Amino acid sequence: MLEGLLIGLETAMSFQNLAMVIAGCLIGTFIGMLPGLGPMSIIAIMIPIAISIGDPSAALILLAGVYYGAIFGGSTSSILLNAPGVAGTVASSFDGYPMAKQGKAGKALTIAAVASFAGGTIGAILLMIFAPMLSSVALLFHSAEYFALMVVGLSAIAAFAGSGQVAKAIVMTLLGLILATVGEGTLFSLPRFTGGIMDLQSGLGFVTLAMAMFALPEALFLVLKPKEAGSAGGDIKDLRITRSEARAITPVIGRQSIQGFFIGVLPGAGATIASFLGYAVERNLASKEEQAEFGKGSIKGLAAPETANNAACTGSFVPLLTLGIPGSGTTAILLGALIALNVSPGPRLMIDEPQIFWAVIMSMFIGNLILLVLNLPLIPYIAKVLSIPRNFLIPFILFFTLMGAYIGQNNATELLILVGFGVCATALKFADYPLPPLLIGFILGGMLEDNFARSMQLYDGISFIWERPMALGLLVIAAMLLVLPSYRARIARHRAGGVADGD
């Protein structure tokens, strides 16, 4: 392994390749900030440039830089503007945006950068050690287990079910799942619930819904109540992470890098579930006081999804490099790029062309490092976005939400849907309905139904639930994640009620 590392280091440290990483990180960060352009689309756009370089290692290094840059850029827009453009960064806005609102935008971005760095780096180390072994584990997961895993991901909603809000959170999740069934289903490709409208045939766009649920109501609130907008993040204070905060998030980062990585290894699960699950797990592990902080600007609540989604992105390289199976949209595009460069990933890659395998891993380390070095000094300037006068900032936020929805689908009807859903979301927000569960339900809904349908077909009924122990185990975990918080709350209330304890 040491020899391999040296080969990789030698390739990656050349002047040309370092320039590639830096260019890639910068391009990725800036384009990634535009909501609607996620890592997948940016990599797709960069492919012609990468291929024209000719050298597979250099091309891969450039793409890895773009990839990490785009993920970081995506978190930036979800933290500063509450406009998550990528499903994987939705969970980052739950606590990142409240932090930015309290004027801690700089700190939030720093935590995001550090957590991403740690997640990516630890992920790369795990990739180095476990890649060969994990490829066989990934194949053990069948659709029944995926279905169960999605259900575990849905249990993240428990985090939003405050006291007396459980039914509301559940209704919102179900509404999200219902919205996900609009359009052509995978089963027989029959159009469902489209009302005969052609534009709904392909379903609702994720970015449209994310913008309508998060960014638009937030912008409308800023319009309705101008006072807060003036003070929101105008001054950027405490950029640094204090020692006690660092101590608080270190275990979170450690746990989530590992958990995120292993979820990322499973083809199809990916960064989104890793981030939701990371958020849910950390909330359950946190102490009572810290739990109350979640959703209101908790540093743990920001560090967890940020670490997990980066680690999961790295994890998704395991099936790509060892089996040639792309586990996510982004790795599928990378696979295309690799094949165009005359490299075929698969079990033989490590033996036939070790320099490429190791160069990819080294480029992950270097990409993460460069990203941290480039972005930490830039953070104060990025956070300055919030100090633009609101008369100019709000039209721009609205414009970018519209653009995000338009670029993805190239369909003007999508913009009308966006405004319509945005108004509904604002009304829901007035009535104190939590909006994140709706989006979680929508994102996971499609995959949930597909895998459910597949396992139903394989087992000719729902017997897969008890015939596959791993699926059953995951479902039990999901139930526990849902029930445990309210059980704990009930116990606490019981105690507060003055009932004598046992001893």
Residues that bind another protein (CB under 8 A): 31, 34, 37, 45, 162-168, 170-171, 174-175, 177-178, 181, 185, 187-188, 190, 192-193, 220-221, 223-226, 389-392, 394-396, 398-399, 402-403, 406-407, 410, 412, 415-416, 418-419, 422-423, 427-428, 430-433, 449, 452-453, 456-457, 460-461
Amino acid at 438: L
Which one, 364 or 397, has the nearer CB to another protein? 397
- Least distance to another protein, CB of residue 419, Å: 5
CA distances from 262 to 13, 84, 126, 249, 477 (A): 29, 24, 9, 20, 17
- Least distance to another protein, CB of residue 224, Å: 4
- Least distance to another protein, CB of residue 449, Å: 5
CB-neighbour burial class of residue 9 (10 A; exposed 0-12, middle 13-18, buried 19+): middle
- Least distance to another protein, CB of residue 255, Å: 31
- Least distance to another protein, CB of residue 230, Å: 12
Give the angle 285-90-215 at the CA atoms, nearest 5°: 130
CA distances from 415 to 400, 405, 412, 421 (A): 11, 7, 5, 10
- Least distance to another protein, CB of residue 59, Å: 19
- Least distance to another protein, CB of residue 177, Å: 5
Give the angle 41-29-250 at the CA atoms, nearest 5°: 115
Which one, 45 or 369, has the nearer CB to another protein? 45
Which one, 73 or 123, has the nearer CB to another protein? 73
Tokens read off for 239: 């950029």
Which one, 8 or 445, has the nearer CB to another protein? 445
Which one, 49 or 378, has the nearer CB to another protein? 49
Which one, 399 or 487, has the nearer CB to another protein? 399
> Which 3 state secondary structure label does DSSP give 192?
strand
Phi, psi for 165 (deg, rounded to 5): -115, 5
Which one, 14 or 165, has the nearer CB to another protein? 165
54: left (phi over 0), alpha (psi -120 to 50) or beta: left
- Least distance to another protein, CB of residue 495, Å: 18
Tokens read off for 325: 């199976």
- Least distance to another protein, CB of residue 369, Å: 26
Q: What is the DSSP letter of 111?
A: H
Residue in the block written with tokens 């998060």: 214
CB-neighbour burial class of residue 121 (10 A; exposed 0-12, middle 13-18, buried 19+): buried
Alpha-carbon distance of 360 to 322, in angstroms, equals 13
Alpha-carbon distance of 113 to 379, in angstroms, equals 9
Which one, 14 or 194, has the nearer CB to another protein? 194
- Least distance to another protein, CB of residue 268, Å: 18
- Least distance to another protein, CB of residue 15, Å: 25
Q: What is the DSSP letter of 242?
A: P
The answer to whether the CB of 90 falls within 8 A of the CB of 52 is no
Which one, 113 or 438, has the nearer CB to another protein? 438
Q: List, in order, residues 6 or more apart from 246 with CB less than 8 Å away.
A: none
Quote the crossing angle between the two packed helices 243-265 and 270-285, to the nearest 10°: 140
Which one, 247 or 493, has the nearer CB to another protein? 493
Give the angle 70-220-239 at the CA atoms, nearest 5°: 45
Which one, 139 or 223, has the nearer CB to another protein? 223
Alpha-carbon distance of 146 to 152, in angstroms, equals 10
Tokens read off for 316: 């998704």
Choose among 157, 200, 119: nearest CA to 364.
119
